[in-house]
Amino acid sequence: MNLRLLLILAVFLVSLPGSIGAKEIWLKKGEVYRDRDLAVICEEGQAGTSGQTMAVRECQYWDDFNKKCLFEKTIHSYGNLECIEECLHWDSFNSTCDFQSKCTFYPRQKAFVLKTCAEFDDYSRKCLKVREEKIGAGR
């Protein structure tokens, strides 16, 4: 069994509530398993060795009334590095994300670049100044 599938299953099993019996899900390359605010995606390659990242999605903003996710954040992993794409400026009146962080992975450098908003204008609901941060070796 390849390492990526083991990592995906480990993430999934850790996220299960303790009162529920363990459940095993086997995914093929390209398949996605969703359970409420968790999404497990099976990608090709060995985690941390092939230049491939693993992405896990979870609900960041949940609508209790309609029982649905309004916005999902994505957690990108490569080896022990992690980069999170999430809504940084949420408009609760319109239930929309005005600015979301963005992760870009550079396999040759084995690093992510995380783009966030350093200065946000609440009146126009726009990012005025973007900030980029390197996440990786020698950051």
pLDDT tens-digit map of 9-62: 555 555 555 545 556 777 776 778 888 878 787 765 444 445 688 999 999 999
Predicted TM-score (pTM) of this structure: 0.63
What are the contacts of 118-125 at 24+ separation with CB within 8 A?
A: 120/88, 120/89, 125/89, 125/91, 125/98
Hey, where are the domains in the chain?
A: 3-136
pLDDT attached to residue 11 = 54
Q: Is the C-alpha dihedral spanning 28, 30, 55, 17 positive or negative? A: negative
Rounded mean pLDDT, 71-79: 95
Q: Closest Cα to residue 137, out of 117, 116, 103, 108?
A: 108
Give the dihedral of Cα atoms 76, 81, 87, 89; nearest 10 deg.
Answer: -160
User: What is the band of 67 on the pLDDT scale with cuts at 50, 70, 90?
Assistant: very high
Q: List, in order, residues 6 or more apart from 7 with CB less than 8 Å away.
A: 47, 54
Higher per-residue confidence, 21 vs 133? 133
Total Cβ atoms within 10 A of residue 1: 7
pLDDT tens-digit map of 119-129: 999 999 999 99
pLDDT attached to residue 2 = 53
Q: Closest Cα to residue 125, out of 86, 96, 101, 102?
A: 96
pLDDT attached to residue 47 = 45
* Strand ranges inside 28-86, DSSP E: 32-35, 38-41, 54-63, 68-78, 81-85
Total Cβ atoms within 10 A of residue 79: 12
Q: Which amino acid is at 36?
A: R
Rounded mean pLDDT, 73-88: 96
